[in-house]
């Protein structure tokens, strides 16, 4: 754990995730590239491997995917960092949803709905693809992990399997030393 | 105008989320346990679980109400399920309802992930564990690729060009060139909205 400069890093955590939370279209996984850029490349809070590990641990934890934020906060400033990062990531969208959610019924079924859906769906697709690319890069282009990535993609596309089973299989393959 | 505005009616218009008389209403405790259960049973996205709980098990929402609320929540910034818990909790219990629902959703995974983080801090350098986590990260990247492939199919209908181009531009600026996210979205989203309006 890297304790950084105490309150300074807590403020940086709060500021970064607070702003990021409002740009995370489509949930936690689409914000992965920005988290990687800032936490690994700008702030050097984590190494590439620690980032990829945190991502994997977040996937293995039940609940919303944005829980990766808690792990990054924990790396930076322990339990306090974890709480600050999580609150910063959840607070602004929650306040937004609270007010817009109440007002939205008046706009129901209007054209804005169609426009936003058409406009934001391709952006979300691009963001998730970018997240996949960043994760593949951080796991280090090892040929076996590429095989796992491609194998999981094909399995998930063509067969209905619970993601947890694919994670278990990938962990076992990894642990067996083939990676 | 919404169809629920009946002219001359003194009754307030039926909103899509206000429960019909026969629909059960959750208490604050029920809100908390419902979202805690949704959260803890969902791996890699909790949409399917929240639907099952809200519509099928507790019958707090009709299927239609659920779809409408969820569509709204996916356009709001932040995680879909987080937004859903806020909108749903607020509808039944105001600010307190929203706080309780969010606490139910985020509290249990937060505690769980902190336990996992402390285990990782101690044993994360053991080679078998490291390799297992690399495997999981690789598999999760594969899952995202499959999601992208499934989501992208409707983009290519009607020989549309702009949708795939927007997705590609987002992928390249964020995933390859690695622009800061706010900068990339500030350029791409207005273009995408303009293109969507032209096609209306």
pLDDT in tens, chain B (200 residues): 333 333 433 444 444 455 455 678 899 999 999 999 888 877 655 666 787 888 888 889 888 888 777 777 877 888 888 998 999 999 889 999 999 999 999 999 999 999 999 999 899 889 889 899 999 999 999 999 998 998 888 888 766 788 899 999 999 999 999 999 999 999 999 999 999 888 76
Chain A within 8 Å of B188 (Cβ-Cβ)?
yes
How far apart are the C-alpha atoms of B111 and B163, rounded to whole Å? 40
* Minimum CA–CA partner of A66 in chain B: B79
Q: What tokens were used for A171? A: 């962990």
Q: Across the interface, do B114 and A82 touch by the CB < 8 Å criterion?
A: yes
Specify the pTM.
0.84
Question: Chain B window 28-57: which residues touch A at a Cβ cutoff of 8 Å?
Answer: 39-46
Tell me the ipTM for this assembly. Answer: 0.88
Closest CA–CA distance from residue B100 to any residue of chain A (Å):
12
How far apart are the C-alpha atoms of A42 and A74, rounded to whole Å? 18
B143, B151 contact by CB (below 8 A)? no
Q: Across the interface, do B143 and A156 touch by the CB < 8 Å criterion?
A: yes
Q: Across the interface, do A33 and B73 touch by the CB < 8 Å criterion?
A: no
Facing B148 at nearest CB: one of A28, A70, A132: A132
A108, B13 contact by CB (below 8 A)? no
Collect all residues with Cβ–Cβ distance below 8 Å to B162 and sequence separation of at least 6: A122, B192, B195, B199
For residue A120, pLDDT beyond 60: yes
Q: Across the interface, do A24 and B197 touch by the CB < 8 Å criterion?
A: no
Chain A within 8 Å of B167 (Cβ-Cβ)?
yes
* Block residue for tokens 């598999």: B139
Closest CA–CA distance from residue B146 to any residue of chain A (Å):
5
How far apart are the C-alpha atoms of A20 and B50, rounded to whole Å? 25
B151, A26 contact by CB (below 8 A)? no
* Block residue for tokens 């098990």: B57
SS (H, E, C) B117-165: HHHHHHHCCCHHHHHHHHHHHHHHHHHHHHHHHHHHHHHHHHHCCHHHH
How far apart are the C-alpha atoms of A12 and A1, rounded to whole Å? 16
How far apart are the C-alpha atoms of A156 and A172, rounded to whole Å? 18
């Amino acid at each position: 754990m890297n304790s950084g400069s105490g309150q300074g890093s807590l403020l940086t955590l709060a500021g970064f995730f607070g702003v990021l939370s409002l740009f995370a279209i489509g949930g936690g996984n689409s914000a992965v590239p920005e988290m990687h850029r800032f936490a690994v490349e700008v702030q050097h809070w984590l190494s590439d491997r620690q980032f990829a590990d945190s991502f994997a641990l977040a996937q293995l934890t039940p609940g919303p995917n944005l829980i990766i934020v808690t792990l990054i906060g924990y790396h930076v400033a322990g339990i306090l960092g974890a709480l600050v990062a999580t609150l910063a990531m959840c607070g602004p969208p929650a306040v937004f949803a609270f007010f817009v959610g109440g007002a939205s019924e008046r706009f129901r079924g209007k054209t804005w709905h169609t426009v936003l859906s058409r406009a934001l769906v391709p952006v979300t697709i691009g963001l998730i693809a970018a997240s996949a690319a960043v994760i593949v890069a951080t796991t280090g282009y090892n040929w076996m992990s590429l095989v796992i990535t491609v194998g999981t993609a094909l399995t998930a596309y063509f067969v209905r399997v619970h993601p947890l089973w694919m994670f278990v299989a990938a962990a076992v393959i990894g642990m067996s030393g083939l990676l | 105008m919404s169809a629920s505005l009946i002219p001359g009616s003194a009754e307030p218009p039926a909103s899509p989320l206000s429960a019909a008389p026969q629909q059960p209403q959750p208490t604050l405790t029920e809100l908390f346990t419902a979202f805690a259960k949704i959260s803890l049973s969902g791996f890699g996205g909790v949409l399917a679980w929240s639907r099952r709980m809200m519509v099928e098990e507790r019958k707090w929402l009709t299927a239609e109400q659920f779809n409408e609320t969820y569509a709204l929540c996916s356009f709001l910034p932040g995680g879909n399920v987080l937004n859903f818990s806020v909108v749903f909790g607020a509808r039944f219990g105001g600010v307190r309802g929203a706080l309780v629902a969010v606490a139910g959703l985020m509290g249990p995974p937060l505690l769980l992930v902190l336990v996992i983080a402390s285990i990782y801090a101690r044993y994360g350098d053991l080679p078998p564990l490291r390799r297992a986590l690399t495997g999981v990260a690789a598999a999760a990247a594969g899952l995202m690729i499959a999601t992208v492939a499934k989501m992208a199919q409707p983009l290519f209908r009607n020989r549309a060009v702009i949708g795939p181009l927007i997705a590609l531009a987002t992928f390249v600026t964020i995933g390859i060139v690695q622009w800061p996210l706010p900068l990339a979205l500030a350029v791409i989203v207005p273009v995408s909205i303009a293109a969507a309006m032209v096609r209306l």
